[in-house]
Structure 1
Amino acid sequence: MVNPNFTVEENEDSYTHITPDYFLEDPGLFCEKSNVREFATYFLPPIYWCVFFLGLLGNILVIIIYVYYRRLKTMTDTYLINLAIADLLFLITLPFWAIATSHDWIFKTAMCKIVNSVYTVNVYSGMLLLACISIDRYIVIVQATKAQKYRTKRLILSKLVCFCVWTLAVIFSLPEILFSMVKEDSYLKSCTISYPTYLSKTLKVTVLALKVTMAFCVPFLIMLFCYAMIIPTLVQARSFQKHKALKVIFAVLAVFVLSQLPYNSMLVVKTWDAANATVLDCKTSQNIDIVYKITQSIAFLHCCLNPFIYVFIGVKFRNDLFKILKKFSCITESQWANCIRVESNTKQLSEILETKMGTLSL
């Protein structure tokens, strides 16, 4: 009889781990997982490589634009460049995942610890920075007078906030730093998280619950509150740009929910299973593993989309991007002139309408 209540629970939470064909609970009791491994081998590597190249391009462009064309003038600027750095740190681990999924873990234990911990640092820092961006937008739009009054202090505060975010992210990633290791069995080598036996269940539940809470629930609630306060302010304003701002807000929330909610829902399932030792039949366990891998891959797409939904939709950033493309001869002189003309006309139209309507730019 197959009993899928696995004793090697920590393997399921290893982000570079390739699920073995079987998990052993007692001699003679197996749950076959070869279909899960075969699915991962064909499905995951192309996703990892696509996310790697697209995310690398977008986030490197963000950093280049900030370094060469912009100074860190606002709190959001500081948060955005830190977000790009966090995404880049995660992206450089994806080739290791792709190789491990196609074959097995061919690297040393030190690299196993680095890859697992860097991923976890990105998860926490990235989500908390998105919450910080939402708070800053709330202050700038809803509390505009106070924001202008304390502009210099807010810029200094943003650096302190980023330091705290990175510190928290590193602290939250300590389980990956301490307990990640390379294991070898008759099937493959894997980079996995192996908790001490006497703390295995408690640590696993704590780590999973912390990820769901601090890397999804708290940032999502902060974003929801801030944007719920921002939207009425934008609706009441007569700014030419308000419709665009509203679209951006809905895009931000939609991308966050669609990319993160499915994955975190699966983490809740795993947390519940770990806390209550839920007995699942082998087929259900296989399906959960497959859905978990799919939703995790969808969650990875967020680091590709961040540069576009937070940065490149801005007029100034687009102009800076056009300058970079022109500098490296990626666009012609005529295309450059057309880009400048379109952006200039848009800006003039916005200023004319706002002047006539007596509005303030948001």
Structure 2
Amino acid sequence: METQQCTHLDYSNISNARIQDFEVFLYNQREQFFVGILMPIILVPGILGNIAFLVVYQCVRRMKTRTNIYLANLAVADVFYLLFGVGEKVLSLYLSAIRYDSLKLSSVWCYTVLPFVKMCAYASMFFVTMVTVDKFFAVCHPFRVRRSSKRRYRLFLMPIRFVIGGWVTALVCATTSIPALGKMIVYCIVWPSNDQFASLPNQFGICSPFYPWSDAFSNLFQITLFFSVLFPNVYMYMKIIYTLHLRVKSAVRRDTQLRNYVARMLVINGSIFFLCTMPFYFFSLAYHVADVVTSVPVWMTEMLKVVRPISQALLYLNSCINPLIYNVANPRYRTAFSETFKCEKVRRHQGQPKTCDTTVYMRAVNKPSNC
């Protein structure tokens, strides 16, 4: 996987050349906006929000439930996905004016970091599915869950096994992208002598496939996996929503209401995940089908220039908004965030003066913190 010798491209004889004539190499204005402005806006709050959720998960003991184990791993995957996925694109933009130029990041970047980003994307998909399955059985088959959870250790033993399996499976799936990304091709380009090309680099490197079919295979594998996970999730969402709708009509206890709050929050979270990721995979599938059947039409190529940055922004936005969904959709999570990040004023008994003393607060909620 060593860097190949320089492939020469000579455009010095092109007369009256303009920057627009080389748009295949350069960022257009739309891409500069999405990569240079929008993605950093997504990157910073996304990383901070997911780290905040991990802090809450660690500090509030009652947050360490089976569902939150999956959500915590989802937050870890989102942090790395944003850090390396968005960070790589923003860094490439500021390092070079050439689109997808990874020469300054070295060839090692192609077969290590880029597959790692794919692994985080797969892991997010798997953990969202684990959360859906967990709530599906808790809401639709509660008695089966109670019978299988008589021993306390099972609450954490099984999720840990699923978490390890999810990361390992994501790693195996990510290896399929190495043949599609692991080879860096270095180009030595001679630009026209116009002054507007003087600032452009004479060398750039692109992470490219080892074989002509590698890129198509990697993309189709990712698309197939996405839709194979999507349809079972949609079925489980529909069953959860239907079951919760039936329960609303009957009197329920407070603990059941809290569980329903959590279930609704997770349905919203999973639905937003697939709604944000679906445009990217759907259009990629249409593009590959058109390429196999005949050839990609011009209108689809032009649409790709518009849809691709938008769909990528939605992918990264999904990793950013999960902590916001937790706080908006469920009061239990809002309370946990408040307990962690500010001195919550509570009453130990009704009528007693408010206090911010840590000892009184811990006794009031009867849930000592680990931090």
Q: TM-score range by the shorter chain?
A: 0.7 to 0.9
Deviation (angstroms), 1:284: 4.3
* Alpha-carbon separation, structure 1, partners of 2:347 and 2:269: 26
Deviation (angstroms), 1:126: 0.3
Residue among 295, 298, 313 paired with 1:297: 313
Contact 1:227 1:249 in 2 (8 A): no
Corresponding residue of 2:304? 288
Deviation (angstroms), 1:169: 0.8
Structure in which a larger fraction of residues adopt helix: 1
Equivalent pairs counted in the alignment come to: 300
Contact 1:45 1:99 in 2 (8 A): no
Change (3 A) 1:294 1:141: same
Corresponding residue of 1:207? 218
The structure 1 segments of at least 4 consecutive aligned residues displaced by more than 6 Å after TM superposition are 338-341
1:108 aligns with 2:106: yes
Deviation (angstroms), 1:316: 3.4
Aligned-pair Cα RMSD in Å: 3.1
* Alpha-carbon separation, structure 1, partners of 2:291 and 2:347: 55
Change (3 A) 1:158 1:253: closer
* Alpha-carbon separation, structure 2, partners of 1:95 and 1:54: 13
SS at match of 1:176: helix
Corresponding residue of 2:365? none
* Alpha-carbon separation, structure 1, partners of 2:175 and 2:58: 31
Contact 2:135 2:263 in 1 (8 A): no
Q: Which runs of 5+ in 1 are unaligned?
A: 1-19, 23-29, 328-335, 342-362
* Alpha-carbon separation, structure 2, partners of 1:277 and 1:189: 32
Change (3 A) 1:180 1:54: same
Deviation (angstroms), 1:132: 0.8
* Alpha-carbon separation, structure 2, partners of 1:188 and 1:339: 67
Corresponding residue of 2:184? 182
CA offsets 1:62-88 (integer angstroms, 9 cap, x no match):
111111223674321211111011111
Deviation (angstroms), 1:250: 5.8
1:78 aligns with 2:69: yes
Aligned pairs for 1:1-362 (under 5 A) are 33=24, 37-70=28-61, 73-93=64-84, 94-102=86-94, 103=96, 104-105=101-102, 106-151=104-149, 152-178=153-179, 179-185=181-187, 186=189, 189-196=204-211, 200-201=212-213, 203-214=214-225, 216-237=226-247, 238-239=251-252, 241=257, 248=265, 251-252=268-269, 254-276=271-293, 278-281=295-298, 284-310=300-326, 313-326=329-342, 336-337=344-345
Q: Which runs of 5+ in 2 are unaligned?
A: 1-8, 12-20, 190-201, 350-371
User: What amino acid is the match of 2:125?
Assistant: M
TM-score by length of 1: 0.73
Identify which range, 257-266 or 49-58, moves more after superposition: 257-266
* Alpha-carbon separation, structure 2, partners of 1:275 and 1:118: 28
Kindly indicate whether structure 1 or structure 2 has the higher relative contact order, using CA contacts under 8 Å at least 6 residues apart: 2
TM-score by length of 2: 0.71
